[in-house]
């Protein structure tokens, strides 16, 4: 389970940051930033990929209640304009900016999952595999993943043939078949090759 070793290395409050949704063909990229409380941290925080959806939902609700949380969302149209890398960096910046606004000042340090940092003015450290090493980053991964999945579930009824309730916008076979048959929706990332190569129906 992720610990607090990395958080203890830096000036408090320390923010953990992670994103969800770099790879899908549709929907936004979502980043979350989380400062865990000194006491009352929910049990079971882990890399979101290791948790079932029901547990992510439970933990996200608990974290929203007890932690300082910021969320950054960049939609498909802006992903196409910026490219997915810079869209992810923007989502992370938006999330940390929300936390800073809640604090009324910049956080002491930011821990970011991965090997790159946004171009921002915050003191920060990237940690490869951070969602498995840092509890704050793992918490952020849970919030980001649950938030993004919830967005895709809300859109499922508007575009049911893509089966986003199941695949959340990733390139699953049923999603690709529907894309080939129906063409892209307004939520699709048209700069992504499988979408760009789709022949629109006449």
Binding residues for a divalent metal cation: 18-19, 113
* Contacts of 40-43 spanning 24+ positions with Cβ under 8 A: 40/66, 41/66, 41/67, 41/135, 42/66
**Cα(134)–Cα(10) distance, rounded to whole angstroms?**
13
Binding residues: 18-19, 113
**Cα(175)–Cα(171) distance, rounded to whole angstroms?**
6
Residue 194: burial class (beta carbons within 10 Å; 0-12, 13-18, 19+): middle
Find residue 3's DSSP bridge partners.
Answer: 134
Query: Could you tell me the two tokens for 66?
Result: 């007890």
């Amino acid at each position: 389970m992720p610990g607090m070793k990395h958080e203890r290395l830096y000036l408090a409050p320390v923010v953990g940051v992670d994103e969800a949704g770099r790879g899908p063909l549709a929907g936004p990229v979502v980043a979350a930033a989380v400062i865990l409380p000194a006491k009352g941290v929910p049990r079971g925080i882990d890399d979101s990929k290791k948790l079932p959806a029901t547990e992510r939902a439970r933990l996200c609700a608990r974290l929203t209640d007890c932690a300082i949380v910021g969320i950054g969302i960049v939609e498909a149209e802006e992903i196409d304009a910026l490219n997915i890398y810079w869209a992810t960096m923007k989502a992370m910046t938006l999330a940390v900016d929300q936390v800073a606004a809640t604090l009324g000042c910049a956080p002491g340090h930011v821990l970011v999952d991965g090997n790159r940092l946004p171009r921002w003015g915050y003191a920060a450290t990237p940690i490869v595999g951070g969602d498995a090493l840092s509890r704050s980053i793992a918490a952020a991964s849970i919030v980001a993943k649950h938030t993004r999945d919830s967005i895709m579930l809300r859109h499922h009824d508007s575009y049911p043939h893509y089966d986003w309730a199941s695949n959340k916008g990733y390139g699953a076979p049923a999603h690709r078949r529907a894309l080939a048959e129906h063409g892209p929706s307004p939520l699709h990332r048209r700069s992504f090759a499988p979408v760009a190569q789709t022949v629109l129906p006449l």
